[in-house]
């Protein structure tokens, strides 16, 4: 395994159509047309993006138990820059060169301003050294998302096929098919078919 450094591309792009970045039984991430995007490169290979525009995150942080369902769906507008690592190739065809007006719509005067924001997010995600790449996202279905929350902390979502892990402020949700874990200020639930441990406050 060789650890390498993620770098930002120099050019800012925009999406030419709305795009679903993730769709599983429990989670959905989508971005609107016109969302700004800058590629994350690892050894000159595009490995992900930092986006900024309009989009949404939907996550059913709900656990089904024999006694009933616990938890609630989460719906978040994605109006701050967020990072995605995963299969970038399928996105390339939906990207186009950005114009000044596209940048202005999102609140930037020029590309440099957006790139600074993107770099800041990458630094916070990976640490100053940004030595995170290890080629672990080989499968097209694997992806990592880092969303900035209202407290400017990062909420992280990791998805791989039916498996999904979401860690946000005060919430941890893990789903792997029928097996689920939910940890929130009010609940602690570990559930698998015919077995469930629940603690509610």
Partner 1 sequence: MSDELRDEMKKLKEQITAMKDQLKQMADEQRPKGRGIYIDIPTNVRDYVEDAMQGVAEGVHGELDRSIFIGPGGCRIMRQGPQHLEEPDETVNLAKVATVMSALGHEHRLKILNELMSGGRYVNELQEKLSDITTSTLSSHLNVLEEAGLVVQEKVRGRYLITIPGRTAYKMARRVTRFLDMRDEE
> Looking at beta carbons only, is 58 or 96 nearer to partner 1?
58
Residues 6+ apart with CB under 8 A from 16: 33, 94, 95, 96
Structure tokens at 57: 């995150």
The Cα 180–Cα 190 span in angstroms is: 6
> Looking at beta carbons only, is 71 or 126 nearer to partner 1?
71
Q: What is the nearest approach in angstroms of partner 1 to the Cβ of residue 75?
A: 6
Query: Which residue is associated with the tokens 């060789």?
Result: 2
> Looking at beta carbons only, is 23 or 153 nearer to partner 1?
23
Q: What is the nearest approach in angstroms of partner 1 to the Cβ of residue 70?
A: 6
- What secondary structure does DSSP assign to 96-142, as a single string? EE--HHHHHHTT-SSHHHHHHHHHHHHHHHH-TT---B-S---STT-
Q: What is the nearest approach in angstroms of partner 1 to the Cβ of residue 69?
A: 4
Q: What is the nearest approach in angstroms of partner 1 to the Cβ of residue 11?
A: 33
Q: What is the nearest approach in angstroms of partner 1 to the Cβ of residue 182?
A: 13
Sign for the CA dihedral angle at 176, 30, 21, 19 comes to: positive
For residue 162, give Cα distances in angstroms to 158, 176, 195.
Answer: 11, 6, 20
Residues near partner 1 (CB under 8 A) are 23-28, 58-60, 62, 64-65, 67-73, 75
> Looking at beta carbons only, is 24 or 141 nearer to partner 1?
24
CA 141 to chain CA centroid, nearest Å: 13
Q: What is the nearest approach in angstroms of partner 1 to the Cβ of residue 197?
A: 14
């Amino acid at each position: 395994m060789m650890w390498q450094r993620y770098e930002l591309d120099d050019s800012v792009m925009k999406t030419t159509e709305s795009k679903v970045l993730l769709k599983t039984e429990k989670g959905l991430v989508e971005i609107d047309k016109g969302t700004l995007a800058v590629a994350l490169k690892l050894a000159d290979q595009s490995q992900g993006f930092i986006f900024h525009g309009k989009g949404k995150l939907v996550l059913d942080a709900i656990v089904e138990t024999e006694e009933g369902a616990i938890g609630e769906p989460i719906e978040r507008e994605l109006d701050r820059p967020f990072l995605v690592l995963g299969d970038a190739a399928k996105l390339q065809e939906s990207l186009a060169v950005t114009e000044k007006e596209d940048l202005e719509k999102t609140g930037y005067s020029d590309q440099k301003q957006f790139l600074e924001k993107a770099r800041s997010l990458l630094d916070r995600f990976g640490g100053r050294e940004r030595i995170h790449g290890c080629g672990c996202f080989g499968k097209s279905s694997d992806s990592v998302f880092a969303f900035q929350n209202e407290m400017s902390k990062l909420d992280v979502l990791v998805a791989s096929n039916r498996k999904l892990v979401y860690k946000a402020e005060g919430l941890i949700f893990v789903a792997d098919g029928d097996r689920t874990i939910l940890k929130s200020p009010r609940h602690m639930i570990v559930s698998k078919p015919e077995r469930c441990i629940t603690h509610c406050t």
